[in-house]
């Protein structure tokens, strides 16, 4: 029979730190900490298997669970010397979730479980503090009613408010034991009135209720959203940790805190954390009171530190910190409580950190001999790296600081102010950039935080919900900005100067300094030297997949090269046709009624195109540049508005009706599947002739004039048949030969196919007879393989993703099962004909870490992504290679 519960306590544990899958992160680490002798309150972990079984069996527990729970509860009573439901010496427990991957704030927690009208007396007797006991009791009722029973939180909160008003006080702390005792009665009455049943008094019944709530919360909305954002499979499940309570709120010799073994924002090596005196653990994270620093390192706040206030506990904590970091060989995020001067460890886990910190910690730890280079590479998450690569505020730009808060998550963000997660989400759907401003954030806000450019909160510390979550997201965040007063009603905030900032006003955040500025402040390029360069050196040592960039301009090309691209994987020539003069010549070509007219217009475009290619080749020197010939339907180049059409008619000396007729003729019902890609090159060969001529001329000139070894790669888009590839290659070769003959320069060049249709994958063996390379256009391949238009899926794709109908959004992370299989078939068949066929991808997926790892596994030669994603892709490629190595060895 399966074992469903693992006990820990008194220096022994049934589980250990390697059992994350079964015990969840928290449970595994509680067991590990217990085993290595740290002071951990005893308790037990109900495994993730129970959660999985629970959902498999229509929310029923395994049959043997009840007996196992009773046994462990008895064990816990024995170890603590307390008894569950005992009037004299009651055992109180916390019930917390703990999934395999850390999901901060996502799961529900119940504290002080075990209190009822009888046991509260025992607690008073033991602590001699009736106020504490009744406060714990009323908190428990509130928490249980909310979390376990789903009662509207405000129902009890209002009673508390009324009570405070009746007494004429502001803070909860001003209520005395009698007040709280009355509250308990009122709360229970309200509970009965609302739910039609008495508040349970049997602690075991309450415990089962709480366990059920934790498992239930695995499928609540915010947990689902978090999992989506972090690619956590729904079938992992959560564990439940039942642990004897310790109290940080039993007086001023009590405290509770959270700390990181190194600075999680910068990675600097000093002990970093916050605590609150006389508080329960949740108070620190919730950000309701502004916490004190644990020491004075790193320019922490001026409040008294733990080191000053409780030096003995601090020293003990430092020893534990050092032990943990050595033990886990990684930066730790710990939670502790001091009950009557006695230190307890409630949690340790690998600390979330910014990309900058991740790099610094990894590089430092290699220097410290703690980890290897390969481990260091694997310690930095590719998806996080992006935050380092985007611009930060230009220090020389003028800026007007309107307020200052805590620098919770670095980076810079500008956007219009919004005051709710819903508004942020709505704005993102319209592609408006916004900054989400809140008093504080809660797990319900996650979707809005994801949608916003940056987050600003008036309350909370560096470990508040907003701070922790945004760091994980790699999103700029300023918290605890007490300079501002937020008015949700009026949708505005004011600063200390009394200036009003309304919804829609633009502000800028600096997540590295905590500054809030008026308007949009200009930004500068990131620094990619130092630790970053060291790490990327290791990355390049271990990666096998090449990383190119998609670049349409010399500027893009420069950025790409700067970020370590191995070449350019996609020049979209159509982007070149939209600028200034060119669009006019392009439209002239489209309006032309015969080949002569088209050739006349193309002759105007030729020198511009040649210059385009020349400039990009110059930037890339000897690195390969892959150019895709004209791809979009001609319709896209025509004006859509009546007024613009009239202008075009005048320029062309054509009646408006004719312009309209041509545009109408070019309109397509499904342009994605229409007259585009190489179908244009087949029906209007003069267009591709011009482009090939421009490419080869530019390459020849550079070779002749500067001695560069330019090897242009010419890509034919939307190839679907052998005939297309064969004839296009033949024609391109002919044009190239003519140019080289005329200029008297010989260069190497390649002609290949953009593989973006299922048919092309299926006949890849035939395509490869002519194509010298394949570049998978995974965007279009996803659209056709899935029968899914990226433009039109907005109506149902979010529904699908939310309801787990698609594993991921297939336009973000490649659908490995379907589209990926198509790519695999294309590779295999292509290489059957041409074993050394060079294969890459040029879709959006080229910058997405999971996709990149997949492309590594199936043996592609390179991926191509946007210039700013190049380091991300390099890192992901290294991860792919190292993960494969680990699997093999």
Answer for which of 6, 61, 773, 806 binds its own copies (CB under 8 A) is 806
Taking the least distance from each CB to its own copies, the nearer of 290 and 833 is 833
- Under rule CB under 8 A, residue 590 binds its own copies: no
Minimum CB separation of residue 724 from its own copies in Å reads: 7
Q: Which stretch binds its own copies (CB under 8 A): 71-79, 340-348, 702-710, 720-728?
A: 720-728
As a whole number of angstroms, the distance between CA 33 and CA 25 comes to: 12
Q: Which is nearer to its own copies, 682 or 750 (CB)?
A: 682
CA 67/CA 76 separation, integer angstroms: 14
For position 674 contacting its own copies by CB under 8 A, the verdict is yes
Q: Does residue 679 bind its own copies (CB under 8 A)?
A: yes
Residue 759 touches its own copies, criterion: CB under 8 A: yes
Q: Which residue has the tokens 């109506």?
A: 795
First-to-last CA distance in the chain?
33
Stretch in the footprint of its own copies (CB under 8 A) among 336-344, 594-602, 621-629, 678-686: 678-686
Query: Given candidates 39, 251, 632, 758, which one binds its own copies under the rule CB under 8 A?
Result: 758
Query: In the bound complex, what is the minimum distance in angstroms from residue 662's beta carbon to its own copies?
Result: 12
Q: Taking the complex as a whole, how short is the minimal distance between the CB of residue 790 and its own copies, in angstroms?
A: 9
Q: How far is CA 542 from the centre of its chain?
A: 25
Stretch that binds its own copies, among 100-108, 308-316, 505-513, 714-722 (CB under 8 A): 714-722
Instruction: Kindly give the pairing relationship between strand 272-277 and strand 292-293.
Output: antiparallel
Site string for its own copies, 553-572 (x = CB under 8 A): --------------------
Under the binding rule (CB under 8 A), the answer on residue 675 touching its own copies is yes
Closest listed residue to residue 616, CA positions, set 862, 867, 848, 390: 867
668 near its own copies, rule: CB under 8 A = yes
Q: List the catalytic residue out of 447, 465, 856, 879.
A: 465
Per CB under 8 A, does 152 bind its own copies?
Answer: no
**191, 199 in Cβ contact below 8 A?**
yes
Shortest distance, CB of residue 737 to its own copies, whole angstroms? 16
In the complex with its own copies, which residue's Cβ is closer, 104 or 758?
Answer: 758
User: Please, are residues 377 and 879 in contact by the beta-carbon 8 Å criterion?
Assistant: yes
Task: Tell me which of 615, 786, 802, 882 binds its own copies, using CB under 8 A.
Answer: 786
Minimal CA–CA distance to 548: which of 853, 857, 775?
775
Out of 422, 705, 792, 885, name the contact with its own copies by CB under 8 A.
792
Q: Which stretch binds its own copies (CB under 8 A): 75-83, 210-218, 360-368, 750-758?
A: 750-758
Q: By rule CB under 8 A, what count of residues binds its own copies?
A: 50
Stretch that binds its own copies, among 275-283, 410-418, 606-614, 796-804 (CB under 8 A): 796-804
Write the burial class of residue 655 (CB in 10 Å: 0-12 exposed, 13-18 middle, 19+ buried): exposed
Among 791, 835, 887, 889, binds its own copies (CB under 8 A): 791
Q: Which of 58, 497, 669, 836 binds its own copies (CB under 8 A)?
A: 669
Question: Measured from the CB atom, is 236 or 542 closer to its own copies?
Answer: 236
Give me the sheet containing 255-260, strands edge to edge.
292-293, 272-277, 255-260, 332-339, 342-350
* Stretch of residues binding its own copies (CB under 8 A), selected from 59-67, 566-574, 583-591, 676-684: 676-684
**Residue 682 makes contact with its own copies by CB under 8 A:** yes
CA distances to 288, 290, 457, 512 from 486, rounded to whole Å, are 15, 17, 9, 22
Nearer to its own copies by C-beta: 212 or 758?
758
In this chain, which of 780, 844, 848, 850 binds its own copies, going by CB under 8 A?
Answer: 780
Question: Which residues touch 379 (CB under 8 Å, ≥6 apart)?
Answer: 330, 358, 361, 362, 365, 371
Cβ nearer to its own copies, comparing 191 with 776: 776
Of the residues 229, 727, 750, 801, which one makes contact with its own copies according to CB under 8 A: 727
The secondary structure of residue 420, as a DSSP letter, is S
Note whether 770 binds its own copies by CB under 8 A: no
Annotated catalytic residue, options 163, 476, 842, 865: 842
Q: CB nearer to its own copies: give 488 or 799.
A: 799
Q: Site residues for its own copies, window 837-856 (CB under 8 A)?
A: none
Distances from the Cα of 16 to the Cα of 211, 417, 734, angstroms: 22, 47, 69
- C-alpha span between 561 and 404 (Å, rounded): 37
Judged by CB, which is closer to its own copies: 485, or 824?
824
Give whichever of 39 and 818 is closer to its own copies, judged by the CB atom: 818
Q: How far is the CB of 493 from its own copies (least distance, A)?
A: 33
- Stretch binding its own copies (CB under 8 A), from 75-83, 345-353, 380-388, 722-730: 722-730
Between 181 and 729, whose beta carbon lies closer to its own copies?
Answer: 729
User: Which residue, 14 or 724, has its beta carbon nearer to its own copies?
Assistant: 724
Are 346 and 337 in contact by the 8 Å Cβ rule? The answer is: yes
User: In 3-state terms, what secondary structure has residue 879?
Assistant: helix
Closer residue to its own copies (CB): 302 or 664: 664
Closer by beta carbon to its own copies, 93 or else 720: 720
Q: Give yes or no: 477 in active site.
A: no
Look at residues 306, 550, 266, 299 and name the one whose alpha carbon lies nearest to residue 409. 266
**To the nearest whole angstrom, how small is the minimum distance from the Cβ of residue 679 to its own copies?**
5
User: Is 476 noted as a catalytic residue in this protein?
Assistant: no
**Pair type for strands 546-550 and 392-393:** unpaired
Number of Cβ atoms within 10 Å of the Cβ of 428: 18
658 part of the interface to its own copies, by CB under 8 A: no
Q: Is 832 in the site for its own copies (CB under 8 A)?
A: no
- What residues are paired with 750 via a beta bridge? 713
**Strand, coil or helix: 93:** strand
Encoded tokens for 109: 């927690």
| Interaction of residue 763 with its own copies, rule CB under 8 A | yes
Q: Which stretch in 274-282, 484-492, 699-707, 713-721 sits in contact with its own copies by CB under 8 A?
A: 713-721
Which residue stretch of 11-19, 370-378, 546-554, 716-724 sits at the interface with its own copies (rule: CB under 8 A)? 716-724
249 near its own copies (CB under 8 A): no
Pick the closest to residue 441 from 427, 426, 454 (CA basis): 454
Which tokens belong to 20? 């994350």
At its nearest, how many Å lie between its own copies and the CB of residue 721? 6
Told to check if 631 binds its own copies by CB under 8 A, we report no
Backbone angles phi, psi at 257, to 5 degrees: -160, 170
783 forms part of the interface with its own copies (CB under 8 A): yes
Q: Give the number of other CB atoms < 10 A from CB of residue 335.
A: 20
The DSSP annotation for 180-232 comes to HHHHHHHHHHHHHHHHSSPPP--HHHHHHHHHHHHHHHTTSHHHHHHHHHHT-
**Could you please report the per-residue DSSP string of 559-628?**
HHHHTT-SSEEEEEGGGGGSSHHHHHHHHHHHH--SHHHHHHHHHHHHHHHHHHHHHHHHHHTTS-EEEE
| Tokens encoding 81 | 């010397």
Q: Rounded to whole angstroms, how far apart are CA atoms 20 and 38?
A: 19
Instruction: Give the pair of three-digit tokens for residue 363.
Output: 């590089």
Distance CA 145, CA 163 (A): 19
Q: Is 814 in the site for its own copies (CB under 8 A)?
A: no
Binding residues for its own copies, rule: CB under 8 A, are 665, 668-675, 677, 679, 682-683, 718, 720-721, 723-724, 727, 756-759, 762-763, 780, 783-789, 791-793, 795-796, 799-800, 803-806, 815, 817-819, 821-822
Active site residues: 465, 842
């Amino acid at each position: 029979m399966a074992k469903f519960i693992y006990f820990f306590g008194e220096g022994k544990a049934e589980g250990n730190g390697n059992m994350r899958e079964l015990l969840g992160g928290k449970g595994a680490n509680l067991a590990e900490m217990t085993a290595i002798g740290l002071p951990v309150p005893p308790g037990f972990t109900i495994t993730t298997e129970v959660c999985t079984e629970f959902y498999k069996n229509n929310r029923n527990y395994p049959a043997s669970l009840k007996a196992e729970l009773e046994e462990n509860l008895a064990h816990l009573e024995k170890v603590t010397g307390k008894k569950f439901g005992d009037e004299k010496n009651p055992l109180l427990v916390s019930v917390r979730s703990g999934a395999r991957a850390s999901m901060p704030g996502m799961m529900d927690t119940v504290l002080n479980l075990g209190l009822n009208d009888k046991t509260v007396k025992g607690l008073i007797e033991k602590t001699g503090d009736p106020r504490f006991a009744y406060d714990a009791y009323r908190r428990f009722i509130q928490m249980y009613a909310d979390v376990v029973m789903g009662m509207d939180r405000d129902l009890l909160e209002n009673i508390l408010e009324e009570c405070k008003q009746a007494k004429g006080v502001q803070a909860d702390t001003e209520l005395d034991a009698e007040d709280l005792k009355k509250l308990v009665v009122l709360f229970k009455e309200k509970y009965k009135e609302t739910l039609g049943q008495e508040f349970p008094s049997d602690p075991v019944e309450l415990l089962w209720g709480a366990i059920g709530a934790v498992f239930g919360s695995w499928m609540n909305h915010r947990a689902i959203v978090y999992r989506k954002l972090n690619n956590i499979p729904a079938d992992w499940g959560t564990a439940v940790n039942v642990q004897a309570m310790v109290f940080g709120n039993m007086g001023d010799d009590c405290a509770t805190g959270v700390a990181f073994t190194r600075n999680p924002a910068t990675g600097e090596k000093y002990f970093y954390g916050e605590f609150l005196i006389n508080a329960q653990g949740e108070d620190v994270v919730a950000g309701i009171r502004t916490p004190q620093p644990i020491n004075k390192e790193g320019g922490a706040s001026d409040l008294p530190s733990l080191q000053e206030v409780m030096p003995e506990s601090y020293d003990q904590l430092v020893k534990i910190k050092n032990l943990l970091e050595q033990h886990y060989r990684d930066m730790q995020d710990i939670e502790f409580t001091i009950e009557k001067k006695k230190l307890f460890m409630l949690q340790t886990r690998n600390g979330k950190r910014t990309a900058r910190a991740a790099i610094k910690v990894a590089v430092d730890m290699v220097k410290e001999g703690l980890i290897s280079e390969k481990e260091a590479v694997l310690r930095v998450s590719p998806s996080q790296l992006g935050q380092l690569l985007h611009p930060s505020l230009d220090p020389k730009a003028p800026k007007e600081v309107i307020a200052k808060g805590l620098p919770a998550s670095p980076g810079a963000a500008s956007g219009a102010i919004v005051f709710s997660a819903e508004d942020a989400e709505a704005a993102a759907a319209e592609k408006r950039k916004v900054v989400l401003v809140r008093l504080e954030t809660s797990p319900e806000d996650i979707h809005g935080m994801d949608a916003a450019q940056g987050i600003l909160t008036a309350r909370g510390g560096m470990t508040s919900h907003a701070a922790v979550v945004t760091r994980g997201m790699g999103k700029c965040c300023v918290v605890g900005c007490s300079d501002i007063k937020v008015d949700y009603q009026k949708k505005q905030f004011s600063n200390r100067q009394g200036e009003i900032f309304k919804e829609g006003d633009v502000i800028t955040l600096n997540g590295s300094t905590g500054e809030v500025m008026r308007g949009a402040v200009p930004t500068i390029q990131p620094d990619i030297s130092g630790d970053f360069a060291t790490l990327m050196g290791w990355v390049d040592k271990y990666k096998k997949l090449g990383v190119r960039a998609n670049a349409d301009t010399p500027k893009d090309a420069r950025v790409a090269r700067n970020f370590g691209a191995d070449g350019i994987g996609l020049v979209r020539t159509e982007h070149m046709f939209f600028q200034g003069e060119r669009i006019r010549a392009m439209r002239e070509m489209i309006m032309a009624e015969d080949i002569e007219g088209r050739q006349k217009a193309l002759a105007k475009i030729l020198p511009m195109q040649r210059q385009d290619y020349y400039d990009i080749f110059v930037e890339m020197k000897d690195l390969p540049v892959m150019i895709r010939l004209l791809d979009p339907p001609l319709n896209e180049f025509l004006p859509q508005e009546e007024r613009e059409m009239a202008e075009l008619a005048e320029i062309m000396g054509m009646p408006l009706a004719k312009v309209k007729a041509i545009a109408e003729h070019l309109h397509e019902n499904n342009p994605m599947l229409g007259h585009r890609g190489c179908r244009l090159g087949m029906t209007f060969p003069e267009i591709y002739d011009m482009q090939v001529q421009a490419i080869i001329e530019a390459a020849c000139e550079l070779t002749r004039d500067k001695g560069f070894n330019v090897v242009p790669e010419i890509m034919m888009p939307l190839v679907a048949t052998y005939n297309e590839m064969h004839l296009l290659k033949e024609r391109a070769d002919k044009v190239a030969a003519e140019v080289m003959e005329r200029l008297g320069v010989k260069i190497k060049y390649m002609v290949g196919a953009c593989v973006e249709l299922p048919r092309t994958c299926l006949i890849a063996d035939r395509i490869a007879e002519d194509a010298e390379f394949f570049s998978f256009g995974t965007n279009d391949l996803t659209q056709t393989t899935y029968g899914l238009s990226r433009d039109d899926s907005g109506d149902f794709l979010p529904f699908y993703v939310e309801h787990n109908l698609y594993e991921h959004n297939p336009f973000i992370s490649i659908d490995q099962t379907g589209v990926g299989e198509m790519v695999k078939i294309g590779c295999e068949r292509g290489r059957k004909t041409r074993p050394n066929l060079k294969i890459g991808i040029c879709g959006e997926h080229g910058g997405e870490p999971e996709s990149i790892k997949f492309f590594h596994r199936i043996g592609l030669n390179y991926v191509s992504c946007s210039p700013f994603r190049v380091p991300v892709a390099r890192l992901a490629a290294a991860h792919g290679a190292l993960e494969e190595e680990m699997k093999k060895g």
